[in-house]
Amino acid sequence: MNLKVVWNNLASKFTGDNDLINELLSEIETSYTSPPRYYHNFCHLEKMIRMALLHTNRLLDPDTIMFSIFYHDLVYDPQRNDNEQNSAVMAQKALLKMGVPGNQIMKCQNQILATKDHNTRDDNDTNYLIDFDLAILGDSPENYRGYSRNIRKEYHMFNNLLYNKGRSKVIRHFLERKRIYNTGWFNENYELQARENLKTELETLKD
């Protein structure tokens, strides 16, 4: 997938300023390629975009979802808890420059903020965005293991004792939910595998 083509097609719906389009894409590229991004990088971005394209017919506002995907992890620091808030602010500034309507900007910000807790929202599109973000949990065991290794690398600054404790808490949080996924499609197709993957990782963290 050529992310530049996807971005240009999206942004050009709202602005004809090619310099601005390229400038904003450069900012996105710089952010998603900055260390220590072993998982929250362009590969993650690409997978979410593929998901969005696959489910376009289920989305009411696919353009806003695409903006939310591009910006949801723009700011990422494993040691901070305000990444989503800061990413939402960056998205607002960028979308304002492109002339995106205010209601879409607000939706984009709310969608980005929803990726912090991944809880069910009243908005269908937001629930799909959250499930795109969590799709890796229900991927094949092999891909999930790769994901968990990369997450560990992103938290390299913590020793095993601290990391295992924190990671176990996150996993238990998902396992204790009635449903991990917020939409019917993902619940039907990803839920069981996600629970198996999470349980398997949790067992390894007890060693």
Both 90 and 79 in one domain: the answer is yes
Both 78 and 46 in one domain: the answer is yes
Instruction: Name the residue among 64, 74, 63 with its Cα closest to residue 26.
Output: 74
Both 16 and 115 in one domain: the answer is yes
Predicted confidence at residue 35, as pLDDT, reads 84
Predicted confidence at residue 23, as pLDDT, reads 98
Quote the tokens at residue 109.
């910000």
Both 129 and 152 in one domain: the answer is no
Both 106 and 190 in one domain: the answer is no
Both 168 and 129 in one domain: the answer is no
Predicted confidence at residue 207, as pLDDT, reads 61
Place of tokens 């800061």: 86
What is the spatial distance between Cα 173 and Cα 184, in angstroms, rounded to a whole number? 20
Split into its structural domains, the chain has a count of 2
Both 77 and 108 in one domain: the answer is yes
Give the chain's largest Cα–Cα span: 56
Of 135, 168, 197, which residue constitutes the final position of a domain? 135
Supply the CATH number for residue 13's domain. Answer: 1.10.3210
As to burial, measured by CB atoms within 10 angstroms (0-12 exposed, 13-18 middle, 19+ buried), residue 198 is buried
* Structural domain of 183: 137-205
pLDDT beneath 70, residues of the chain: 207
- Three-class DSSP category at 88: helix
> Using one digit for the tens of pLDDT, what is the confidence trace for 124-160?
999 999 999 999 999 999 999 999 999 999 999 999 9
